[in-house]
Structure 1
Amino acid sequence: MSHPINFDFSEEFARKMDEKDPLKEFRSKFIFPKVDGKTAIYFCGNSLGIQPKTTKQYIQKELDNWADLAVDGHFYGEDAWYHVRKKSKPALAEIVGAHEHEVVAMNNLTSNLHFLMVSFYQPTAEKFKIITEAGAFPSDMYMLETQVKFHGLNPDEVIVELTPREGEHTLRTEDILKTIREHGDQLALVMMAGLQYYTGQLFDMEAIAKAARQVGAYVGFDLAHAAGNAQLSLHDWEVDFATWCSYKYMNSGPGNISGVFVHEKHAEKPDLPRFAGWWGHDEGERFKMEKGFKPMFGADGWQLANSNVLALAAHQASLDIFLEAGIGNLRKKSETLTGYLEFLIQNISGKSGVIEIITPKNKNERGCQLSLLVHKGGKAVFDELYQNGIVGDWRHPNVIRIAPTPLYNSFTDVFRFAQVLKQSLLKFA
């Protein structure tokens, strides 16, 4: 059993932590952006991860294949495009805790949510309600609203929003489970974030999935802020479906390809409703070009179009780094790195009331992100951080999101952020 670390507010302590960090070499695999010509301290992987140095090489390889082989690239050469989706499966399976046949990279996140809803939201007169968290990311809110309307139902009557107790910022697991039980007779689906983008709260997906199963409801998660950040076990938790983006913690490029998880218990249900496409059809018979959709086994059966080869190449550059580092090792470092950030912020703000951390204190209820509610100074505090080379994220009305990412951030990064924050807050204390 590891002993708690006695953190210290000093650059010497931060440097010593970096020296003994077993993942320290991974920082050199990334390109850091600049602010006013100087290398930034980048804490915005929760919005867009930074570029691996190998990304150009991976993309160039496929550009060369395209140039040299053209259409023959689908079937000849290393990583023939016809099967190229398979290359990302080992890393994706490790990152989300799944079997390889339960995951596939395709489309983008909101498209995938809509396609998965076709299969997993089938309202009846008896079971039609959806539970989600209040203040979900807009894409999720709009997706649920329009899916409900598509079925001719009223979102105000169908969607049950989970809200924190008065005076609290985050949801209590007991309240989520209670709501599931209360609406159980009418509940068709629990569809919510795995990690809430604004507060940084990591939900107990295992408990939520179990509660949903007990009342006969499907459960799905938007893992945009959880994949590559939190330790996930989607298969063992018996989550029905999930989807995520690859451009945040998985560092695969702006707007890049998404991924889906579909539990293997649904793989043997070819009659499960879905919107089908050519690339989801049995690949052994795909070129017969015949009527009658026959889905591939597992998540592959939800594919529509052929793979975006250049997008997958950029994705793979980062996934190979994840495989080398190991998601368990990254999570272990993340807990300590974010714990140090929390210690420094508390040390700086003290009882001033200027900053309140609204992300749960329990490491099992958060990822790497801390959401800082700024009570004095607001956007001016954030702007000063940026002017000093700190790239974080501002969310209205008054939250700064700071996400020290274990693949490329260091303890020294966190300490230097604290120094700038201390300087900024002196103006507003």
Structure 2
Amino acid sequence: MSHRPWWCARLALPVVPSFQTSPGTRDILPPQAGRWRAFTAQFADIVESAGYECIIPPMFEDLGVFLRLGDATDVVTKEMYDFEDKGGRRIALRPEHTAGICRSFAQHRPTTPWKVWYSGSNFRYEKAQAGRFRQFDQVGIEVLGSTDPLLDVEVITMGWQFFESLGLRNVVLMINSLGDPEDRAAYIEALRVYLESHAEKLSEESRATLQRNPLRVLDSKRVQDKPIIDAAPTIAQFLSDDAKAHFEKVKAGLTALGVQYSVNEGLVRGLDYYQRTVFEYVSTSLDSAQTAVGGGGRYDGLVEDLGGPATPGVGFALGIDRTLLACDSEEVFLLGAPQLDAFIVDVVDGMTALRLADELRAAGFAVDRAYDGRSMKSQMKVADRSGARVAIIIGSDEAEAGNCTVRNLMTSEQSLVLQTEVVTHLASIVGERNPRRNTQ
């Protein structure tokens, strides 16, 4: 029989949990989770004012849905979470929302224009870093059924107005046109020829990228690649007259609404379905390389690729993590824990607190209470830490007389109030609330 040294028994060794979050994921805990919920609610409020309705697509789809993102894209070749289910079907966790929403349109054939918004998680197997996770959340909008360039303007403006509503001031809008598929194909070939002629000067990573997708070389931030990229041909040289006219109207619409933008001819976006208008919102307040907080564009051929009718579309997605990092950097949209109106302290049997809490919550107040039969002193400490504006105290004398002591924790003033009048009295301190249910 082994004996531990006497000092082992006195050490409070940390308990190591059996399981932790998987790499690239994390728990979003209170109060940050409440901030996320407020973020989504604010986004919904803005886009629903323009006629967008919520859609909740599946979190996984047939792998073929997402292969339309482009067989040379990093998302498809490196980052997709795909597997064979027990029925032998090839399934993928969604890496983005647009393809699934276009599949939904092709399946259900709603009337157009179909304007929807979404919020939810996506999944990509990539290196985790600040503002980038393997499970990441986005909000976004999609509109299907119109080629009108002024619809592009509306979509871009929705994102811009949302950033303004958060209080962000260091976000810039970059736009470009990728033209029609024929324009893009001609440009890609010219770009390939140019880059291959300078391949020996490119970084090893960009030379590998060139073989898969020449457009992705333009995304390189490596110093070695910059002179080659700066001198590369631009898509503007290959645009058709129709594509040029479309882009000019987009720019005119943004100018008419006072939305500042810059044309970035190197902006191509990372998915193959984009054509004509593409755009990104970039935060200049973030120190990391991941400065894009959102982006989108037009994808007029995607629904048809998924077996639906030829249907134009345009939309964007905003990253919640990166946008909140930008908010932190600019010290805006800094929401704290939910504010409690009252905390009930009951040192009798807890039944009065149970009833009063239910009554006050029904009247619309935010109310909490202590449990486990704690002492008055212990419960008051909890009340102080809770951040509640008022403590409602029920001792043996109050319980017997049908009263309670209402103490304003901001001013320390207190009053003896009938329990039947506590709703009215609390409203006189913290203000009226909207009832959550009828208590009559």
TM-score w.r.t. the length of structure 1 is 0.27
Q: Which has the larger Rg?
A: 2
- Greater share of helix residues, 1 or 2? 1
Of structures 1 and 2, the one scoring higher in RCO (CA 8 A, sep 6+) is 1
- Greater share of strand residues, 1 or 2? 2
